[in-house]
Amino acid sequence: MKELKNLRNQPDWRANAFLTAQIILDNTTWLPSIINEICTLSDQEYRDKASEWLDGYLNSFYRSMKAVRRNNELGALLQASSSIVYFINCIFSLNRLIPPYLDRIEILLNRLEHVPMEKEVLSELLVSVSKSANPDNQIQLFNATEKLLRSFGFDSVYEAWDDKLENEVNYWRKR
């Protein structure tokens, strides 16, 4: 049992598999709670991790939008894809879960209570942003994410960006 608990302290790639683990046979009374403990962030961890991932998301969003503006297609696509990874990790942290393997997102979205929009719409939007770096789609995700994260008290992460994010969004609204 102690060895399983210690998995939580291992690099994420080891613990991530437990998010989708299915217990086939359990002759113990403690295995489900240990798996839950491995996958769940504490109150302090979730706030710290969500803040870090949110700042990464905002940085990649901002850089992608700038790359689109410069007609740098590759840079825009890479930054938009990076923003999606940060976004996913942030949303999972907000839900007090460790970040998942990216190829298991579709399975795990239904486990999340706090998401910025309907899960099917969110899934489609993530695909669209990853494929095209379309500013309108990125702004749609940004606005919904901002509303959700501010409702959880992550205002300071947004405020650290001063007016840079708002100016970038406004640039695209005027077009």
Q: How confident is the model at residue 15 (pLDDT cuts 50, 70, 90)?
A: low
Q: For 8-23, what is the mean pLDDT?
A: 63
Judged on CB neighbours under 10 Å (0-12, 13-18, 19+), 157 is buried
Would you say residue 13 has pLDDT above 70?
Answer: no
Lowest mean pLDDT among 31-40, 81-90, 122-131: 31-40
Instruction: Centre a 10 Å sphere on the Cβ of residue 151 and count the other Cβ atoms it contains.
Output: 11
Give the integer Cα–Cα distance in Å for 127 and 48.
27
What confidence category does residue 101 fall into, taking pLDDT thresholds of 50, 70 and 90?
A: confident
Parse the chain into domains and list their residue ranges: 1-39, 42-173
pLDDT at 25 (0 to 100): 74
* pLDDT tens track for 158-175: 999 999 999 999 999 888
Cα gap 133→94, rounded to integer Å: 24
pLDDT(130) > 70? yes
End-to-end CA distance of the chain: 59
pLDDT at res. 68 = 97
Question: Tell me: the pLDDT tens digits for 21-77?
Answer: 677 777 777 777 777 777 889 899 999 999 999 999 999 999 999 999 999 999 999
CA distances from 116 to 124, 126, 131, 145 (A): 13, 12, 20, 5
Which residues fall within 8 angstroms of residue 130, CB to CB, at 6 or more apart?
77, 80, 81, 84
Does this model's pTM top 0.85?
A: yes
Q: 138, 66 in Cβ contact below 8 A?
A: no
